Structure 1
Amino acid sequence: MSEHTTTAVVATRGRRLTWQMKPPARKAWLLAHVAVSVGWFGGGYAMLVMGIVAMTSAGTPLRPAAYELMHLSDTAIMIPGSLGALITGLVVALYSKWRVLHHWWVVIKLLLTVGAMVFAYAYIAQNVKTALEATLANPAADVERIAESVISGNVVMLLALLATTLLSIFKPWGRTAYGRRALAGRRPVRRS
């Protein structure tokens, strides 16, 4: 392969081949992953703040606008951010030494990311839509229970995203059984 390609073929023992990105490509993908993940986290924080404003008595006249902005943020920030974080994270994992199923921290991070995406759509977005519909009809509508659900949902979301960040930094728990078997298959055979 030429030195200008973004991946390199690494021969392993047996028939298997793995692909690893060269350092400049890996850094570019890692930068993209961090950037969209930070954007996703920032969008979650902004939605939390808007939810708090909409719930306070001072925010009553702002409720319809706050829920409209939350709905817009969900569509324009949260969904693209979550998809971007998932895609760039998978690319970095697939084409680096970490792999997707070889280390527990990568597996848990993937599960948290997908879980956060599903939770955001099934719980937070639906509650925001319900609150928006109610406050558009009457800005003083009693949406306290829904507002609390939106706020608690955003707190849970931010905690999940913080957990994925911590996993990326500390990389705990070592290899999975699959990762240990793959590592054992790549070790060179000692000749006597």
Structure 2
Amino acid sequence: MLMSPPTRKVVLTTHVATSVGWLGAVLAYLALDITATNSEIVDTVRGAYSAMEVTVLYVIVPLALASVIIGIVNALGTPWGLFRHYWVLVKLLLTVFATTILLVETSTVSYLAQAATSDADPRELPGTMPHSIGGLVVLLIVVVLSVFKPRGVTTYGWRKQDEQRRSKRTRSAEPIR
């Protein structure tokens, strides 16, 4: 069912806001990750790991989940659909993949934050740089797909377009009374 134009604008605005927020939060997290793995000051490293945990649990995870859910609602309520165009499908798969990895990694981030506050030297902790950079790259790919919308209709999309064409022909062929 397609949304009305005002509803579609509200949903799209919410989706863009949560997605951009997610991207911004990942950039902030990456800055903390770089600080945690490169600083020689023990208190700075401890603070960075603690801030990483707070950022992941209270900013990144909620924004990621909201972005996925609102993105699905947006796709289902617009002519783009969820499975009609390859760019929408790839965006969905990348976003779900990134969110899944994020949810798995939250326990690692929490462990690192707890370990950083222990008596051990937190400068020896490994950080999460590969996941930080990987998550950023995936989100940037999603942004590019959103802006450029590469052509390509899925098999499902072709069937739907064909059904719509047939429906229009049938309606126009009916006699006017």
Do these two structures clear the TM 0.5 threshold for a shared fold by scoring above it?
yes
Contact kept, 8 Å, 1:93 with 1:99, in 2: the verdict is: yes
| Cross-structure match for 1:162 | 140
Moved more, 19-28 or 33-42: 19-28
TM-aligned CA deviation for residue 59 of structure 1: 4.2
Structure 2 portions without partners, runs of 5+: none
User: Distance in 2 between the 1:78 and 1:143 partners?
Assistant: 25
**Does 1:133 pair with 2:111?**
no
Structure 1's consecutive aligned runs of 4 or more residues displaced over 2 angstroms after TM superposition are 57-60, 138-144, 188-191
- The superposition leaves residues 37-76 of structure 1 with CA deviations (integer Å, 9 ceiling, x where unpaired) of 1111111111100011111234432222211111111111
SS at match of 2:2: strand
User: Distance in 2 between the 1:131 and 1:98 partners?
Assistant: 42
Structure 1 portions without partners, runs of 5+: 1-18
1:63 aligned residue (45, 48, 51): 45
Pairing 1:110-149 to 2, within 5 Å after superposition: 110-123=92-105, 125-138=106-119, 140-144=121-125, 146-147=126-127
Name the structure with the higher helix share.
Answer: 2
Contact kept, 8 Å, 2:39 with 2:45, in 1: the verdict is: no
| Cross-structure match for 1:189 | 169
| Cross-structure match for 1:53 | 35
- What TM-score results when the alignment is normalised by the length of structure 2? 0.89
Identity %: 33
| Cross-structure match for 1:92 | 74
- The superposition leaves residues 57-97 of structure 1 with CA deviations (integer Å, 9 ceiling, x where unpaired) of 34432222211111111111111101111111111100101
User: Distance in 2 between the 1:62 and 1:31 partners?
Assistant: 37
Pairing 1:29-44 to 2, within 5 Å after superposition: 29-44=11-26
User: Distance in 2 between the 1:141 and 1:38 partners?
Assistant: 31
1:101 aligned residue (72, 75, 83): 83
Name the structure with the higher strand share.
Answer: 1
- What TM-score results when the alignment is normalised by the length of structure 1? 0.82
Contact kept, 8 Å, 2:42 with 2:122, in 1: the verdict is: no
SS at match of 1:21: coil
SS at match of 2:78: coil
SS at match of 1:189: helix
Moved more, 128-137 or 67-76: 128-137
TM-aligned CA deviation for residue 142 of structure 1: 4.9
Question: Cα RMSD over matched residues?
Answer: 1.6
- The superposition leaves residues 83-134 of structure 1 with CA deviations (integer Å, 9 ceiling, x where unpaired) of 11111111110010100011101110000111001111223x2332232222
Contact kept, 8 Å, 1:50 with 1:70, in 2: the verdict is: yes
